[in-house]
Structure 1
Amino acid sequence: MIPSSNNNVNWRTHTTLLLLALIYVFSYIDRNVIAILIEPIKQEFGASDTMMGLLSGLAFATVYSLLSLPLSHIADKGVNRRNMVAICCGLWSIATVLCGAVQSFWTALLARMGVAVGEAGGMAPSISMLSELYPKNRRSLVISIFMMGPHLGLLLAMIIGGWIAQEYGWRMVFFVFGAPGIVLAILLYFFGIEPKRSTEAPQESAQPHHSLRSQLSSIIAAPGFIWLALGCALAGTAGYGYVIWAPTYLVRTQEMSLASAGLIFGIASGVSACIGSLFSGVCCDRLVQKQYRWQILFPMLGILLSFPAGIALILWPSDLSIELLGFAISPSFIFIALFAFFNSWWPSLSYAAVSQIVGSSQRASAAALLNLFLTLFGAGLGPLLTGGLSDYFGDNGLANALLVTFSLFLLSAFFYLISSFYYRPLQDDEHLNKSASPTLSNAHKAEPNIADTNYQQGENHG
């Protein structure tokens, strides 16, 4: 329960937080559970790896990217955000259920696009609501709770989804994970609170509204933004390609069952990513007070450290166990955990970095623009590129495809390095040191840190 001294915060406030958090968990499950189901879906429909990359990535990302910005804009224009999130949750949950009833690859593609239509209107209104449901001194904790959704979603999707698929078939996975979202949508509609919109920055609201083109041009011209966006795009391409295809790699090359692959990948990735995200924030917090460029260099370091862990996952002999504290541990588990720990550094810290190089009236647009790079290149092209390369290489194609995809991390780190030369927060150094601006209490709060301007972002960590 979230403590509060605000008389307006009551059990319905906490209930709304709980429902929004659960809805976010299931949105991430519904979006990414297909990663553990690629092999059985491919076999039933006779699809290629390229086609499965299209199904798991580009079909979702394209629709999501086209709709997320206009839907977020609508949410800021005064519509009832509680109702909007409830309706969108109901839509993507129904579409998820329909994914389990499809009879061909192309109807599955349409169902996946339906999931994207609903999810495009869920994240930004939720963040906007939470920023006004609680007083300022509680928002960091509240948004941190909400932002645990991706990690918990990945863990549940892999572990439970893999077991259900093995025991009852891949279609049952979509039925089981889609149905709770329909119930949550109904509960939010009847028991959630639509908070009163705050006016915390009247001086900004009085400013003239700029055209979208001039707004985006100003953001792109911000110091270091374009290089950071390109770095995120490449890191996202490699990262999403890995997340979607790694469980299939375990099934194909290490002869694991769906349940075993989901268990190993889910626990190793989910737990390590939570720890890594918190660790990176604490460290970056302290380093930034000495030199603000660590806001760029620290996520770059995480990318570089995750690279050898990803390579080792592919090249380490599967029959060669690793001794740790007297126990023989699967090398796959260790390398997946190491990769997740280090690779969790860059997403939230990058959003925090962007929030420092634009004015408060531009932060939501800047974050949305960065998210556009991540969604189109990462969630869209990552799985498709990896699947296409797998088909191209033929025998042992998926392993070689992942190795090529991992190489994008090196180019991504190079773009981060270039960005660090240009990067400079709007605040002067003295103010930055006093305020410890990009904290990972503000990094887990990477999205939330911008909550005071009704921060809107899609999601992608990962």
Structure 2
Amino acid sequence: MGAALNVGVHGLPATRVGWRSHGLLLLLALVFADNFVGRQILAVMIDPIKTEFGVGDTAMGLISGLAFAAVYAVLGLPAGRLVDRLPRTRLLALSCLLWALATLACGLAGSFLVLAIARMLVAVSESPTTSASLSVIADLYPPHRRSFAISCFTAAPTFSSIIGLSIGAWVVEHHGWRSAFIALSLPALVFGVLLALARDPLRGRWDLRSSVPATPPLSLGNEARALWALPAYRCLILAGGLTTLSSYAIGMWNTSFLIRSHGLSLQHAGLLAGVICGVAAGIGGLFAGWLNDRLSHRGAHWQILIPVLGNLTALAALVVYLLWPAGVLGVWAGVPIPQAMLWCALYSFFVVWWVAPCYNLVTQLVPTSRRGTAMALQTIVSTLLGVGIGPVLTGVFSDLLLPWWGEESLRYALVLVSLPLLGAVGLLGRVAVHAGRQG
């Protein structure tokens, strides 16, 4: 296991990590944050868009969830292939330009059909962003410093969405939903220019003597099958997918849970769910990345143990949170804070512990020439299970339990949808076994 999990740590080329690497990481994080706010801001636009175009909740759910996820998933592998074949910073620059134009088109849409098509174009433009960014980060930082760098990248949307949604709600209320889309498109143009000027780091910069051998180019289908045939990689991305299924379901339904089971208003529930969960998850992600970098060089098993500990602690905190009876801990700035929110914060802190270690491990388990495709496949699985299935499955469970539990049916539906975290723990154990055989 040690040999397989420590790919690229020993025998590194004598290359220094300088301010250019940190600057490019910051730029990638800003792009990801802008993309993420563009997804989340629809939450404060639903009613105005419904009123203007005369559509229902189902139509809004499609453009904000399943339709976006489906397009993103279909194009994920081709986009990952482009990441492995083209200069990544130039590809990201083009992605930013297309994203800005598609988001601008959302703000200028004259009909709901045009808005739906524009949202699909946003998904098209975002399809290479995550895989290209993580591929670049793998070449900016050595494996023993990579987890914290990845956590900085993945935590950026968590923090920015809190600010973005608050500002977005104000913009929508005072200037309309179209102005919010237009305002979001402008930073992407600046990011695109900066990425076009940035130098793409040398591929395999830190893995020139890696024990993962280089492989000849394959067709897209064969490339995906070759990656899926790697047992450790397959179990790793499925573990991430199951964790994402649970966390996306909680994220989508948490506000409704606080309203139904704890008697909060929509405004107060949304504020607590966004701020408390967002801050706790952001800090937890950064801490897990830092912790993994500090411990993984002492023993390769920490790259698996940290996500396992995170998932088990998160599951325990989540079950307590969901079953905790209604009761107010205190009132802060006029907002009643339920006692259960302490457990919700604990859950949010630990549930992201898998992200940085597992993404780092993906970059070590696959050849340098396949990193873009590998990260794209990881994103596809997480998107389909998380965005596509998690929230819908929760709704189905809630409806099925309604005759027995009434308004409390959502509470127990969320308990059921939290159980995939146990499956993720089991799969992480299989990763350790398969990686040990590989080593």
Q: Verify same fold: TM over 0.5.
A: yes
Matched, 1:95 2:108: no
Corresponding residue for 2:41?
A: 33
Unaligned 5+ segments in structure 1 are 433-462
Equivalent residue letter for 2:359: Y
Contact 2:106 2:119 in 1 (8 A): yes
Corresponding residue for 2:328?
A: 320
Equivalent residue letter for 1:404: A
Superposed displacement of residue 411, structure 1: 3.1
Equivalent residue letter for 1:417: G
Structure-1-length-normalised TM-score: 0.72
Corresponding residue for 1:152?
A: 159
Paired residue secondary structure (1:321): strand
Contact 2:311 2:354 in 1 (8 A): yes
Contact 1:94 1:179 in 2 (8 A): no
Matched, 1:54 2:62: yes
The one of 359, 368, 381 aligned to 1:373 = 381
Corresponding residue for 2:120?
A: 113
Structure 2 distance, partners of 1:60, 1:167, is 27
Matched, 1:84 2:91: yes
Q: 1:302 to 1:37 in 2, by over 3 A?
A: farther
The one of 66, 73, 80 aligned to 2:74 = 66
**Higher helix proportion (structure 1 or 2):** 2
Matched, 1:24 2:38: no
Matched, 1:237 2:245: yes
Corresponding residue for 1:195?
A: 200
Equivalent residue letter for 1:125: A
Equivalent residue letter for 1:177: L
Contact 1:130 1:139 in 2 (8 A): yes
Contact 1:295 1:350 in 2 (8 A): yes
Q: How does 1:60-459 map to 2 (within 5 A)?
A: 60-79=68-87, 81-102=88-109, 105-129=112-136, 145-189=152-196, 192-195=197-200, 197-198=202-203, 200=205, 201=208, 207-247=215-255, 249-250=257-258, 254-258=263-267, 260-281=268-289, 295-311=303-319, 313-321=321-329, 329-331=337-339, 333-355=341-363, 357-358=365-366, 363-387=371-395, 400-401=409-410, 403-421=412-430, 423-424=432-433, 426=435
Contact 2:30 2:156 in 1 (8 A): yes
274-283 or 131-140: bigger deviation: 131-140
Unaligned 5+ segments in structure 2 are 1-13
1:50-89 Cα offsets, whole Å, 9 max, x none, are: 544433221111111222322232233234x333322211
Superposed displacement of residue 116, structure 1: 0.6
Structure 1 distance, partners of 2:344, 2:52, is 28
Contact 2:253 2:391 in 1 (8 A): yes
Structure 1 distance, partners of 2:116, 2:100, is 15
Contact 2:155 2:286 in 1 (8 A): no
Corresponding residue for 1:455?
A: none
1:326-385 Cα offsets, whole Å, 9 max, x none, are: x98443643432221121112333334445555555555444323221111112222344
Equivalent residue letter for 1:344: V
Structure 2 distance, partners of 1:210, 1:167, is 53
Structure 2 distance, partners of 1:398, 1:232, is 31
Structure 1 distance, partners of 2:305, 2:139, is 33
Equivalent residue letter for 2:216: P
Q: 1:302 to 1:335 in 2, by over 3 A?
A: same
Equivalent residue letter for 2:417: L
State the superposition RMSD in angstroms.
4.4
Q: 1:338 to 1:157 in 2, by over 3 A?
A: farther
Contact 2:231 2:431 in 1 (8 A): yes
Structure 2 distance, partners of 1:9, 1:331, is 45
Count of matched residue positions in the alignment of Structure 1 and Structure 2: 419
Structure 2 distance, partners of 1:138, 1:280, is 12
1:187-212 Cα offsets, whole Å, 9 max, x none, are: 544xx323364564389887433455
Structure 1 distance, partners of 2:406, 2:285, is 32
Superposed displacement of residue 90, structure 1: 2.4
